[in-house]
Amino acid sequence: MIFKISTHMKELIKIKSLVSLLFLILPFSFIACNKDENPNTFGNTENELQGNENLNTSGNIENEFQGNVIIVGAGASGLAAAKKLEEEGISYQILEATDKLGGRIQKNENFADFPIDLGAEWIHEDKSILNFLIDQPGNEPNVETILYQPMNVQQVVDNIISQIPNEEMIDYYEGGITEYKFKNTTWYDFIHENFAQNIEQNIIYNARITTINYTGDQVVLTTENGTEYQADKVILTVSIGVLRSNAITFNPPLPAKKITAIQDVEFLPGFKLFMKFSDQFYPDVISSETSSGEKTYYDAAYGKESQDHVLALLSTGISAQEYYLLGNSDAIVDSVIQELDGYFNGLASQNYLGSYIYEDWSQHKYTQGTWTSDFQKSSKKLNDSLDDKVYFAGETYNVDGITPTQGFYIIRGSVQSAILSGYEVVDQILE
């Protein structure tokens, strides 16, 4: 779930020379609503609610299910599913392959004087979505946020960097683009406070599932060290990359249409790089034209009232693959500094403090990539259950790319999509 740019947005918003900006901006992406509509109010129209009647987080579903559930993965969707099962009084366990919760929602508190989002970073909606996700009233969340509308934006086309005029940026944001970031906290803090802290006792860490057998009345899950777990229902929240790698063997095997659906979804390689400088010689954002994925430099300290100067690079798709050819993170940083020197007359080398964080999500054994495409329509087989025993949540949620939900537009690949997928799958089990 991290930082993505919508190709569909290019068709929705064509503002003068901003076409190249649309490769850019705002890691993870956001679909613009009609300017005359308010996308951030809690609507109740039939169109908004169609197909989303079950996105209820308040724990008041009448159900007859009294079995036990195993959730595979302690990322946003798995933790959300656990929260709802806890509220419904259903027995559950979470099996997490790593030694920590959060999945691709992670943070670093030691690099700068503000916490760094190593994974998911943007709130791809109005800030009121935070209350909606935890079933709280009102539009003002109980956490400080930043309206993310950078004005000092430059673009790189054919290795030539140029400034995008302020009036075009104003037009761009008036076109319906709404993005927020956390000011002094992170997505990890939000997830931990509102989901993890009340259910963490049910997480079993370092439990990597290698086999899921759903031939019998109960599903049997086996870990790499041979430990077996049994459940009436299983919620599988692993990444598309893990599913593609065949790290989990299914018995019976996955249906051919399910395999095709998994293979067809865009799931790009990519990394985040954070570099510390003695001065800010760079703009808020530098957007680079690329044939697939994105390559975006951005001021990670934007709006944070920080004394540190941290420039981040988000690279996915072809740009990431080109960087990987350099061999290691030190070589990548050297290449990035050299590129920035070319844009800013050597100021990158002069100001670089020699400190960086390199978070390569493609190399994470339990991720093997970044996120699914938000506007690419996928087969409905992607999130079909296996014999009503094994359910899929997380990136497989929302086959149409976006779903109107209570006045919000929920983008697949975003944190909110992952959370709502956890809720929805539990609703399906309890029906």
Q: What is the 3-state secondary structure (H, E, C) of 356-413?
A: EEEEECCCCCCCCCCCECCCCCCCHHHHCCECCCEEECCCCCCCCCEEEECCEEEECC
- Which residues make Cβ contacts (< 8 Å) with residue 247, sequence separation at least 6? 210, 238
Residues 6+ apart with CB under 8 A from 375: 6, 7, 8, 9, 31, 401, 402
Contact between 145 and 183 under an 8 Å Cβ cutoff? The reply is yes
> Per-residue confidence at 128, pLDDT binned at 50, 70, 90?
very high
Answer for the pair 282, 351: CB distance below 8 angstroms, yes or no.
no
Helix and strand numbers, DSSP H then E, in the chain: 12, 23
Instruction: Note whether 75 and 86 are within 8 A (CB).
Output: no
pLDDT score for 319 = 96
Alpha-carbon gap, residue 236 to 395, rounded angstroms = 11
Give the H or E element holding residue 297.
Answer: strand 295-299
Q: Which helix (DSSP H) or strand (DSSP E) does residue 244 occupy?
A: helix 240-244
Burial-class residue 110 by CB neighbours within 10 Å (0-12, 13-18, 19+): exposed
Q: Which CATH architecture has domain 1-267+366-431?
A: 3-Layer(bba) Sandwich (3.50)
Instruction: Annotate 157-211 with DSSP letters as a single string.
Output: ETTEEEEPPHHHHHHHHHTT---EEESSS-HHHHHIIIIITTTGGGEE-S--EEE
Cis? peptide before 283, omega within 30° of 0: no
The residue behind tokens 């956490």 is 143
Question: Span 52-79, mean pLDDT?
Answer: 75
* Mean pLDDT across the chain: 84
pLDDT value, residue 174: 87
Residue type, 118: L
Q: Where are the beta strands (DSSP E) in 66-152?
A: 68-72, 91-95, 107-108, 116-117, 122-123, 145-147
Interatomic CA distance for residues 246 and 321, integer angstroms: 22
In angstroms, the CA 394 to CA 154 distance is: 34
User: What's the pTM value of the predicted model, to 2 decimals?
Assistant: 0.85
pLDDT higher than threshold 60 for residue 376: no
Domains of the chain, by residue range, sit at: 1-267+366-431
- Residue-wise pLDDT for 313-334, tens only, equals 999 999 999 999 999 999 999 9
Structure tokens at 376: 């690419």
Q: What is the pLDDT of residue 395?
A: 79
- The answer on pLDDT for 44 being more than 60 is no
Task: Please say if the pLDDT value at position 393 is more than 70.
Answer: yes
Mean pLDDT value of segment 214-239: 97
- The pLDDT score that the predictor gives to residue 278 is 98
Name residues whose C-beta falls within 8 Å of residue 404's C-beta, 6 or more positions apart in sequence: 47, 48, 52, 410
Give the rounded percent of residues in the chain with a pLDDT score beyond 70: 80
- State the Cα–Cα distance between residues 309 and 259, nearest whole angstrom: 45
Over residues 184-206, the pLDDT tens digits come to 999 999 999 999 999 999 999 99
Report residue 8's pLDDT band, with 50, 70 and 90 as the boundaries: very low
Q: What is the structure's pLDDT at 383?
A: 84
Q: What pLDDT is attached to residue 45?
A: 31
DSSP H helices, 44-101, are 46-49, 76-88
Distance CA 283, CA 276 (A): 15
Binned at pLDDT 50, 70 and 90, residue 266 comes out as confident
Cβ atoms within 10 Å, residue 388: 11
Report the range of poorest mean pLDDT among 35-39, 182-186, 207-211, 324-328.
35-39
Residue range 106-125: average pLDDT? 96
| Structure confidence at residue 64 as a pLDDT band (50, 70, 90) | confident
Contact 100, 205 (CB under 8 A): yes
Question: What tens digit of pLDDT does each residue of 293-310 get?
Answer: 999 999 999 999 999 999
- Which residues are 230's β-sheet partners? 220
Element of type H or E holding 261: helix 256-264
